[in-house]
């Protein structure tokens, strides 16, 4: 079977090309599946957060009418920051920051820890509940720091609000990292294999050119 000259230069045969295309197809399928699963999970957490914010809004509408609520309002003079956000900010706007922040932070943390082998030391040895709390805590803290720039919340209130989405999204981020993110050793091994394959292809190309030139000289 005739092969493309570029393929011949790299020393990659027809079967190697088929295996490479099959691996690329499998990788793209895995990326699509994981992306779709994460998008659905993100949408579910968004909808849940919006529902919780709506319940909180109804609570803060009813609370000032109670005896305890009237005493609180008369003593404090104003609602806390969270109540102000719940009552006056659009729920989708608030939920967008409270969910997207942990979503991005958990993915970055999960992929970075797997690539640098930290996941083997500080995630895999622990149970599902303990490791979720261990890794969701920095995600919630980072989100709390990030959200204060966009929402009228204190750092403490923003961190508490981001704790729920962080706990829900962190395990899925690590699951995605296991399926898609390579470790540092894998990248080094693939690089060595590629360089070795390229070197073999270069040697084959040199030998082929030498044989072709010697054949032309013999013909003349």
Task: State pLDDT tens for residues 94-153.
Answer: 999 999 999 999 999 999 999 999 999 999 999 888 999 999 999 999 999 999 988 888
Residue 77 falls within a domain, yes or no?
A: yes
User: Rounded distance, CA 46 to CA 42, Å?
Assistant: 6
CB 98 within 8 A of CB 46: no
Backbone Cα Rg of the chain: 28
User: Rounded distance, CA 157 to CA 80, Å?
Assistant: 10
User: Rounded distance, CA 78 to CA 80, Å?
Assistant: 7
Residue 174 falls within a domain, yes or no?
A: yes
Question: What average pLDDT does range 186-215 have in this prediction?
Answer: 71
Counted domains in the chain: 1
Residue 86 falls within a domain, yes or no?
A: yes
What tens digit of pLDDT does each residue of 5-53 get? Answer: 444 444 455 566 777 788 788 888 888 999 999 999 999 999 999 999 9
Residue 214 falls within a domain, yes or no?
A: no
User: What is the chain's mean pLDDT, rounded?
Assistant: 82
Most confident of 69-78, 158-167, 198-207: 158-167
Among the ranges given (45-59, 81-95, 161-175), the one the predictor scored with the smallest mean pLDDT: 81-95
Residue 215 falls within a domain, yes or no?
A: no
Nearest alpha carbon to residue 63 among 79, 49, 51: 79
Give the domain extent around 119: 5-208
43 phi/psi in degrees, rounded to 5: -65, -40
User: Rounded distance, CA 176 to CA 196, Å?
Assistant: 30
Kindly report the pTM of this predicted structure.
0.76
Residue 216 falls within a domain, yes or no?
A: no
Residue 218 falls within a domain, yes or no?
A: no
Residue 213 falls within a domain, yes or no?
A: no
Residue 156 burial (CB count, 10 A):
12
């Amino acid at each position: 079977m005739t092969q493309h000259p570029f393929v011949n230069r790299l020393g990659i045969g027809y079967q190697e090309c088929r295996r490479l295309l099959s691996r690329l197809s499998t990788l793209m399928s895995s990326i699509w599946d994981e992306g779709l699963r994460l998008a659905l999970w993100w949408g579910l957490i968004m909808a849940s957060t919006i529902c919780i914010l709506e319940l909180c809004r109804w609570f803060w509408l009813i609370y000032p009418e109670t005896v305890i609520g009237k005493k609180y309002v008369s003593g404090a003079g104003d609602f806390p920051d969270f109540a102000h956000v719940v009552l006056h900010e659009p729920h989708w706007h608030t939920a967008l920051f409270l969910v997207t922040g942990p979503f991005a932070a958990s993915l970055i943390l999960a992929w970075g820890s797997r690539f640098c082998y930290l996941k083997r030391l500080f995630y895999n040895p622990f149970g599902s509940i303990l490791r979720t709390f261990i890794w969701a805590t920095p995600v919630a803290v980072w989100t709390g720091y990030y959200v204060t720039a966009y929402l009228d919340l204190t750092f403490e209130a923003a961190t508490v609000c981001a704790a729920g989405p962080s706990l829900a999204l962190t395990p899925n981020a690590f699951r995605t990292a296991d399926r898609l993110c390579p470790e540092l050793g894998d990248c080094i091994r693939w690089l060595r294999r590629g360089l070795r394959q390229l070197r073999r292809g270069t040697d084959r190309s040199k030998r082929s050119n030498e044989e072709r030139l010697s054949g032309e000289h013999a013909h003349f």
